[in-house]
Amino acid sequence: MPEPTPPEYQLPGAARTPQNGAVADTGMGGAMDLATAEGETLERPPDAGPPERDAEGDAEGAAGERARSLWSDAWRELRRNPVFIVAALVILFLVFISLWPGSITWMSPLKCELSKAQEGSQPGHPFGFDGQGCDVYTRVVYGARTSVTVGFLATLGVALLGSVLGGLAGFFGGAGDSVLSRITDIFFAIPVVLGGLVLLSVVTSNTVWPVIGFMVLLGWPQISRIARGSVITAKQHDYVQAARALGASHSRVLLRHITPNAVAPVIVVATIALGTYISLEATLSYLGVGLKPPTVSWGIDISAASPYIRNAPHALLWPSGALAVTVLAFIMLGDAVRDALDPKLR
């Protein structure tokens, strides 16, 4: 997966050096960033009354009485972002059907009639039947639970473990950092599918946990490497030195100054990885080491339907479509959150 370069990597420097894309070639980075409202004067004109404030500032907390913070501003920003709203609705819906699949279905996903195998859409069965004669609609709805659980928990685990280890290594450096870097190198050398075949074949449990555990085990080095890099970048900024010169503790520097400035690449990579984890679950299930029937998952259905793609494409397309929409929703969510955390983009 290519390492994304979110704008955070360029902006701080770019604003300073006169090479910032568009207009800043003239070296006017600072002046151009200036809000139009205050382009006129720097010195506060004595008794000139309050300067024009943007409408938004007026609406929010009467004359700025309430202190604003990055997180509250980000939340306000998110609420007005249509991309975020759409993504959030999709994800909420997914969570809902994962918890209560019965609310929008009326059959059991395991009740199949071989006689109806591969039949297309018909009343009561909008998505048709798969190769085993099971109702595709019901299976897609029930599959959401496993797929979303696997994708979400694996991503969460990877992101937490990776960013904590990578972030701490990047922040403190030294021997711990060297050791961690070598360990990530070793993990990068393990082929995912082969690793899965070896590790998961010895597991007999029929739950999703071994699969999630395996994904976290192999996925964290990727996030760790990215988190380490962006923490090292953020650490070098003068504002971190400024906080240290004030006497700020390590935890304060890490939480207030480094994390918000280093989190963007992690969010981007993690949300993209979420999709790959759902697909990886499918791959592993296909190879027979992931989830096993009777567990219902999109991955199992996709792999099961692939032999019949010519005769019954619907059996493949519906679960794949659900997977695609889910992945897209998470990527959109990640994008929106990343943008909301960057005040420069407001």
Binding test (CB under 8 A) with other proteins, winner from 1, 41, 62, 251:
41
- Per CB under 8 A, the segment of 56-64, 79-87, 102-110, 119-127 that binds other proteins is 56-64
Binding test (CB under 8 A) with other proteins, winner from 3, 5, 10, 16:
16
Long-range contacts from 169-177, C-beta under 8 angstroms, 24+ separation: 169/224, 169/228, 170/227, 170/228, 170/229, 170/230, 170/231, 170/232, 170/235, 171/231, 171/235, 171/250, 171/254, 171/258, 177/228
Dihedral sign, Cα of residue 159, residue 160, residue 166, residue 172: positive
Residue 11 binds to other proteins (criterion: CB under 8 A) = yes
Smallest separation, CB 10 to other proteins (Å): 12
Long-range contacts from 69-76, C-beta under 8 angstroms, 24+ separation: 70/260, 70/341, 70/343, 73/340, 73/343, 73/346, 74/337, 74/340, 74/341, 75/340
Q: How many CA atoms lie within 13 Å of 217's alpha carbon, on the beta-carbon side?
A: 13
- Distance between CA atoms of residues 159 and 37, nearest Å: 40
Pattern 218-257, other proteins, x by CB under 8 A: -------------------xxx-xxxxxxxxx--x---xx
Q: Which is nearer to other proteins, 49 or 294 (CB)?
A: 49
Binding test (CB under 8 A) with other proteins, winner from 18, 102, 126, 191:
18
Smallest separation, CB 272 to other proteins (Å): 23
Smallest separation, CB 165 to other proteins (Å): 21
Residue 21 binds to other proteins (criterion: CB under 8 A) = yes
In sequence order, which residues have a C-beta less than 8 Å from that of residue 292 and are 6 or more positions away? Answer: 206, 285
Q: Which is nearer to other proteins, 2 or 21 (CB)?
A: 21
Smallest separation, CB 193 to other proteins (Å): 33
- Distance between CA atoms of residues 337 and 223, nearest Å: 17
Binding test (CB under 8 A) with other proteins, winner from 3, 5, 57, 207:
57
Smallest separation, CB 2 to other proteins (Å): 22
Q: Which of residues 307-346 bind other proteins (CB under 8 A)?
A: 341-344, 346
Q: Which of residues 252-311 bind other proteins (CB under 8 A)?
A: 252, 256-257, 260-261
Q: How many CA atoms lie within 13 Å of 65's alpha carbon, on the beta-carbon side?
A: 3
- Per CB under 8 A, the segment of 64-72, 136-144, 193-201, 274-282 that binds other proteins is 64-72
- Distance between CA atoms of residues 1 and 223, nearest Å: 11
Q: Which is nearer to other proteins, 232 or 278 (CB)?
A: 232
Q: Which is nearer to other proteins, 43 or 115 (CB)?
A: 43
In which residue are the tokens 């701080």 written?
12
Cβ(270)–Cβ(158) below 8 Å = yes
Neighbours of 170 (CB within 10 A): 26
Q: Which is nearer to other proteins, 110 or 255 (CB)?
A: 255
In sequence order, which residues have a C-beta less than 8 Å from that of residue 63 and are 6 or more positions away? Answer: 50
How many positions of this chain bind other proteins (CB under 8 A)?
61
DSSP 308: G
Residue 53 binds to other proteins (criterion: CB under 8 A) = yes
Interface residues toward other proteins, by CB under 8 A: 11-13, 15-16, 18, 21-23, 25-36, 38-44, 50-51, 53, 57, 63-64, 67-70, 73, 237-239, 241-249, 252, 256-257, 260-261, 341-344, 346
